[in-house]
Amino acid sequence: MRRLAVVLFNLGGPDSLAAVRPFLRNLFRDPAIIGAPTLIRHPLAAFIAARREKAAQANYALMGGRSPILPQTQAQATALEAALNRDLPETTARVFIAMRYWMPFTAEAARAVAEFAPDDVVLLPLYPQFSTTTTASSLKAWSEAYRGAGRVHAVCCYPDEEGLVGAYARLIAETAAKAGQGARLRLLFSAHGLPEKVVAAGDPYQRQVEATAGAIVARLDGAWDWSVCYQSRVGPLRWIGPSTESEIRRAGAEGLGVVVAPIAFVSEHVETLVELDHDYAALAAGAGCAPYLRVPAVGADQAFIAGLVRIVIQATGTGKEPVAAGTWRCPADVGKCPRRGAA
């Protein structure tokens, strides 16, 4: 039987309050996050991690002292592995997890995949929208770590994949229904932000986030008042906008409630469980924005997992070029998209 390894890429998160500082240090050491030379970047990462440790620990304390991202990714891996072995009866499929900034690290996953000795390896980021700061960084780490067998197939993005879009459309409709008939609502698609200079340099992330939002709205029933916004801004640089905070205030000023959908996050973590559920909920209350409703991340939703199965099958039928699943293709002027205009 053919042996298929699927590697799920994700950010990772601290598994204890003591792990917060080393997690942050790993994050800011990544040249995809801070582009300074190593001699500057490493001490700068240590400095930033030390300064942010207490505030970050307070946020993780609200979640029980650890990030939920690993158990949620494990649930996605379990569901995907079962679906692949069901749908591909002549294949033995195993799903592995490679976290970028905390355990299990990429090198650990690479060793486990090599021991499995697969015929094919599909690298599947749990970032639907490609960015140089997420998917590209994870793919680079994998290429440096993996020395095993198998044909390697990389998935670059899937911003309008049917399963992702269908899962979020259903979750949005279910969440909005909690407001009751007649509620005046605006749908906010909130994604993690990026500095403007990263996007200006050709990063396709913003275009792909907007593509995801547009595909979801097209799937929803009825006319929706909606906008795309960005959260989690840090540091002095100008970031892409509008910000989620400003969109919540604008909705409140217009007498609207909001339904907030975290479309760049496929599992719950600090940006959803703290930033959206605590910080922005309090902001909405102060701005007269009611109701404030938050859509859950897709997690192991059946439609989303079915979409991942389709992506894996599509990827194994290709060569070494990165696979862009769904119908969206980046325009030619988005210089850092690996699959501009590809069919």
Average of pLDDT values for 113-128? 97
Q: Look at residue 339 in the predicted model and tell me its pLDDT.
A: 73
Tens digits of per-residue pLDDT, 25-35?
Answer: 999 999 999 99
Q: Look at residue 176 in the predicted model and tell me its pLDDT.
A: 97
Q: What is the mean pLDDT of the chain?
A: 95
Q: Look at residue 222 in the predicted model and tell me its pLDDT.
A: 81
Tens digits of per-residue pLDDT, 90-101?
Answer: 999 999 999 999
Q: Look at residue 230 in the predicted model and tell me its pLDDT.
A: 98
Q: Find the radius of gyration of the CA atoms of the chain.
A: 20
- Domains of the chain listed by start with CATH number: 17-61 (no CATH), 162-294 (3.40.50.1400)
Average of pLDDT values for 72-88? 97
Q: Look at residue 320 in the predicted model and tell me its pLDDT.
A: 61
DSSP secondary structure string for all residues of 152-217: EEEEEE-TT-HHHHHHHHHHHHHHHHTT-TT--EEEEEEEE--BHHHHHTT--HHHHHHHHHHHHH
Q: Look at residue 235 in the predicted model and tell me its pLDDT.
A: 79
Average of pLDDT values for 178-194? 95
C-alpha to C-alpha distance for 338 and 292, rounded to whole angstroms: 37
Q: Look at residue 343 in the predicted model and tell me its pLDDT.
A: 44
The torsion angles phi and psi of 30, rounded to 5 degrees, stand at -65, 125
